[in-house]
Amino acid sequence: MSFKAALIQMCSGVEMARNLRDASSMIRDAAARGAQYVLTPEVTNIFESDRQRLRAVVATEQDDASVAGFSRLAQELGIWLHAGSLALRLSEDKLVNRSLLFAPDGTVAARYDKIHLFDVDMPSGERIRESDFFAPGSEAVVATLPWGPLGLSICYDMRFPKLYNVLANAGAMFMAVPAAFTVPTGQAHWHVLLRARAIETGSFVFASAQGGAHESGRHTFGHSLAVNPWGEIIAELAAEPGILPFEVDEGLVNRDRGRIPALKNARAFNLKPPQGIAN
């Protein structure tokens, strides 16, 4: 059984109400094209480089307008609506980068907090420290869709293959990877990492992205794409906001896992201490 999906590529700004309107418009369009599952990018609700302002304006999941808006929209359209991630308040001092999957009745079917936080000094001199403001998650999450299990992840997670191995061994057939990649890292690693995660696990990968020049001055890579379990890119956007519809044949997961049964062939092993003469 196949189903229709769509990825939403955005260039979110600092005004949450406008981001919600922009996302909702594209989600409606995707549903009108027949999409039964729709995924938005990382930090759909706000893209704010000023961390102090970000901390001041975000709300808890219970009070966030985007959460309420997406819940109503999922129910109205009768679709599985996956808010790739939202910046939400966790406590007085910390935020959380949270992915929320809304069922067609508007309820939250699954939530996942980004485990791996992006703490990096870029070659350009830009210094990014997500852990200064965001609390990391600690639990991997597999959600149940009508067509098969979905593994949840967010952006930087894609550099940690163990997470996807755990998700696949827990039954995940599809991997959601909403992201906001920088341009330099996107040019170097975006396609190859996503294809590798698909090949290693024999899973479909759905990667919706932020793309374009943001109000904060940052640029994101875009290139939302869908990858099949054989590692082939079946749909891709360019750098600007848009909608990427595609069809998913979940039968390919069992076919390709049968062709290369890496999950079944994996074996436990011990690491032998380093050998040789110490200098």
- How distant is the alpha carbon of residue 103 from its chain centre? 17
State how far the Cα of 145 lies from the Cα of 268, in Å rounded to an integer.
Answer: 31
Residue 72 CB coordination number (10 Å): 14
Lowest mean pLDDT among 119-123, 141-145, 245-249, 257-261: 119-123
Residue 42, SS3 per DSSP = coil
Mean pLDDT of 13-23: 97
Say if residue 124's pLDDT is above 80: no
pLDDT value of residue 273: 92
Q: How far is CA 33 from CA 26, 93, 139, 248, in A?
A: 11, 42, 34, 15
CB atoms within 10 A of CB 212: 17
Q: Choose which CATH entry (3.60.110.10, 3.40.50.300, 3.40.50.2300, 3.20.20.70) describes domain 2-263.
A: 3.60.110.10
DSSP characters over 137-195: P----EEEETTEEEEE--GGGGG-HHHHHHHHHTT-SEEE--B--BHHHIIIIIHHHHH
Separation between Cα atoms, residue 158 and residue 252, nearest integer Å: 22
Q: Token match 């309820």: residue?
A: 107
Q: Which residues contact 151 (CB under 8 A, 6 or more apart)?
A: 140, 141, 142, 164, 167, 168, 170, 172, 174, 175, 176, 203
User: What are the residues facing 205 on neighbouring strands?
Assistant: 175, 227
CB contact at 8 A, 45 and 64? yes
Round to whole Å and give the CA distance between 185 and 208.
16
Residue with tokens 């910046």: 87
Q: Which of 27-31, 174-178, 213-217, 265-269 has the lowest mean pLDDT?
A: 213-217
224-277 confidence digits (pLDDT tens): 999 999 999 999 999 999 999 999 999 999 999 999 999 999 999 999 999 887
DSSP string, 75-107: HHHTSEEEEEEEEEE-SSS-EEEEEEEE-TTS-
Mean pLDDT, rounded, for 161-169:
98
Closest CA to 46 of 86, 74, 73, 93: 86
Domain ranges of the chain: 2-263
Alpha helices by DSSP H, listed for 8-129, are: 16-32, 51-57, 65-77
Query: What are the catalytic residues?
Result: 42, 114, 155
The share of the chain scoring above pLDDT 90, in percent, equals 89
